[in-house]
Structure 1
Amino acid sequence: MARLLYSAIASLDGYTVDASGSFAWAVPSEEVHAFVNDRERTVGTYVYGRRMWEVMRYWASDDNGSDRSSVSADYRRIWQAADKVVVSSTLTEVDSPRTELVHDLGAAGLAQRKATSPADLGIGGPTLAAEAFRAGLVDEVSLYLHPVSVGGGTPALPRDATVALRLAEQHTFGDGVVFLRYLVDRP
């Protein structure tokens, strides 16, 4: 069975975007981005909610001129090679290769994909991930904590679910970002 991996860039106070919806403070350094790339290589399918999809579809373009570095170009290749599932009740179509639009995946649908996937699944977007956490489907949590407090916004982890985590790895980067990888402890 594939693992369901949740990864988020977050402020030190636990938000993926600030109260105005901005994540400008979260742009990864080359060092952090290269580290993320290495982590993402095991993902065969990304599962996104609509808002996360709208951010991530930037990588769908074949315009390599928009990559600011070889690290960025590497991520573009990793992302384009994976399948994508976009969960949205408002979108009517998605316009990139290897991308499927579903209007309601639900816990049962996500569990089925996890059970039949030949490679890990990455779930992106804290709102969609919260549903997976509540259903007990997330296996691993990776947080990239930026040294900034934004005071509010969208929380990286669900506020209405208790999730027992066991620290598996940690790393500190030169720019002060801290990577924490946890395994989800199931009762």
Structure 2
Amino acid sequence: MGKIIYWMNTSIDGYIEDPNGGLDFHDPGEDFHQAASDHVRRTAAFLFGRRLYEAMERPWTQDLGKEGAPAFEREFAQFYKETPRYVFSDTLQTVPEGVTIVRRKDAVSAATRLKQEIDGTLQLGGPELAVSLLDLIDEFWVYAFPVIVGGGKPYLPVEKGLQLRLVEHRSFASGIMFRRYTRS
């Protein structure tokens, strides 16, 4: 049985995007890239909301990780391309090989089925999708970058509380803080 992990990079004030929808505050160092590659190497599938899918797909399959790029970038791009990707969207009509479209109305049933069928980590990304799958999430991962953006899109825009237990934390030389939570 699989485990769903919701992972997003944030500012220290808890936003995944700045007030203008930008991600410019994400300036990862090599240490973060290595940790990300280590995790993606063990990821059985990605479950993406449409916007995060679009932010990840082209860069990591076409633009980044090319010959001459840093080794950690090439490694991440290779793992990304080899991992099955599911994009939850009602607007996308076509996707490249290796990607499956799941309609939003089927999100809970599809994620439940994938969790039962796939042994390993199902990495969930996208705050709106995470809210819709909240009851299926096993772990919450936060990589907090050392910047305050003062507003934008929150990590998890829920309207109810959820008790969590911190089970791992570490800091990176680049100033990024990692926290891993499970349900209490």
TM-score scaled by structure 2? 0.92
Q: What corresponds to 1:75 in structure 2?
A: 76
The correspondence of residues 139-154 of structure 1 with structure 2, limited to 5 A, is: 139-154=138-153
Q: What corresponds to 1:183 in structure 2?
A: 182
Q: What is the count of residue pairs matched by the alignment? A: 182
Q: Structure 1: give runs of 5+ residues left out of the alignment.
A: none
C-alpha displacement of 1:91: 1.1
Q: What corresponds to 2:95 in structure 1?
A: 94
Q: Is the 8 A contact 2:10 2:17 kept in 1?
A: yes
Q: What corresponds to 1:118 in structure 2?
A: 119
Tell me the secondary structure at the aligned position of residue 8 of structure 2. strand
55-64 vs 102-111, which moves further: 55-64
Sort the Cα spacing of 1:62 and 1:13 in 2 relative to 1 into closer, same or farther, 3 A.
closer
Would you identify which runs of 4 or more consecutive aligned residues in structure 1 move more than 4 Å?
none
Quick one: which amino acid aligns to residue 145 of structure 1? Answer: A
The correspondence of residues 49-68 of structure 1 with structure 2, limited to 5 A, is: 49-57=49-57, 58-61=59-62, 64-65=65-66, 68=69
Sort the Cα spacing of 1:62 and 1:11 in 2 relative to 1 into closer, same or farther, 3 A.
closer
Quick one: which amino acid aligns to residue 171 of structure 1? Answer: R
Quick one: which amino acid aligns to residue 49 of structure 1? Answer: G
Tell me the secondary structure at the aligned position of residue 93 of structure 1. coil
TM-score scaled by structure 1? 0.91
Structure 1 vs Structure 2 CA RMSD: 1.6
Q: What corresponds to 1:18 in structure 2?
A: 18
Q: What corresponds to 1:46 in structure 2?
A: 46
Q: What corresponds to 1:138 in structure 2?
A: 137
C-alpha displacement of 1:141: 1.0
Q: Structure 2: give runs of 5+ residues left out of the alignment.
A: none
Query: Which whole-Å deviations, capped at 9, do the CAs of 1:17-69 have from their partners, x for residues lacking one?
Result: 01100011113111111011112222111011110011111212287437731
Query: Which whole-Å deviations, capped at 9, do the CAs of 1:94-150 have from their partners, x for residues lacking one?
Result: 12x2111122232122111111112221111111111111xx100011110011111
Q: What corresponds to 2:157 in structure 1?
A: 158
Tell me the secondary structure at the aligned position of residue 76 of structure 1. helix
Tell me the secondary structure at the aligned position of residue 34 of structure 2. helix
Sort the Cα spacing of 1:166 and 1:35 in 2 relative to 1 into closer, same or farther, 3 A.
same
Identity %: 30
Q: What corresponds to 1:7 in structure 2?
A: 7
Tell me the secondary structure at the aligned position of residue 90 of structure 1. coil
Give the distance between the partners of 2:82 and 2:132, measured in 1 at CA.
26
Tell me the secondary structure at the aligned position of residue 26 of structure 1. coil
Give the distance between the partners of 1:152 and 1:64, measured in 2 at CA.
31
